[in-house]
Amino acid sequence: MARRRMSRLQLADAAKLSVSTLEKGLSGERPFTLATLIRIEDALGVRLRSAAAPAASPQAAADLGAYRREGVDWLIGSYLTLRPSFETPGAVYAYLTEIFWNDDAGHLGFSEKARLDAQFAQKGAVSMPYQSGHIYLVTNEHGQYRLMTLGRPSIAGNMYGLLTTLRSARGGRLTPVAAPVALLKWDAARRGEPALGLVAEGHAAFADYRREVDRVCDEEFSALIA
């Protein structure tokens, strides 16, 4: 861009991309698809892809379930993600999770968006083993894991399960926690923007959000045993 003296806005316009798509790709938050990369190459007049680079396999590795891309397209999209607040009893914490096909890695990936605590936003790989029929959203950062274990989507595309992660406790200690979590398939163009952040009693969305979180254990999608 510097050699072409183009701003990011000018490049996005020339490549017929949204500025958001360009920013996410340049920051590494979400890799460019092949089609997007070709548009950028055409706009810049240079080749960005390595001719020697092998094409990514359309099938995930065996340790992620060996699923093929055409068999998991139905899972791709945005999800309103709801879990109990770790700090405010009874309240619900809401943010977005995006599931997408990672062309470079050859498997489904996910990334979290619009979190109030953006520094803790997670991203990682999606595992779908045939044996259990469950879906796993796995973060592995330098050997530190966070995991969502989700049941298969409902007719509406919603998924319910458990989140296991770490939370900041007194004195800055990190303590393991497990909590119910609901991922609701969300089409913002059709349904509008959801309420995000801390949703407590009295908020217009609280009753609906709390009901979805409570469904996890009430309808035995998952169980918390003490």
**Tens-digit pLDDT profile for residues 165-211:** 998 877 778 899 999 999 999 988 888 899 999 999 999 999 999 99
List 18's β-bridge partners, or say none: none
User: Which residues lie across from 98 on neighbouring strands?
Assistant: 78, 111
Residue 94: partners with Cβ closer than 8 Å, 6 or more residues away? 80, 81, 82, 194, 195, 196, 197, 198, 199, 205, 209
Which of 34, 53, 48 is CA-nearest to residue 3?
48
Tell me the backbone φ, ψ of residue 141, rounded to 5 degrees.
-110, 105
pLDDT at 31 over 50: yes
Report field, pTM of the whole predicted structure over 0.85 = no
- CATH 2.40.128 placement within the chain: 72-218
Higher per-residue pLDDT: 26 or 118 = 118
Choose the CATH number for 72-218 among 1.10.150, 2.40.128, 3.30.70, 1.10.3470. 2.40.128
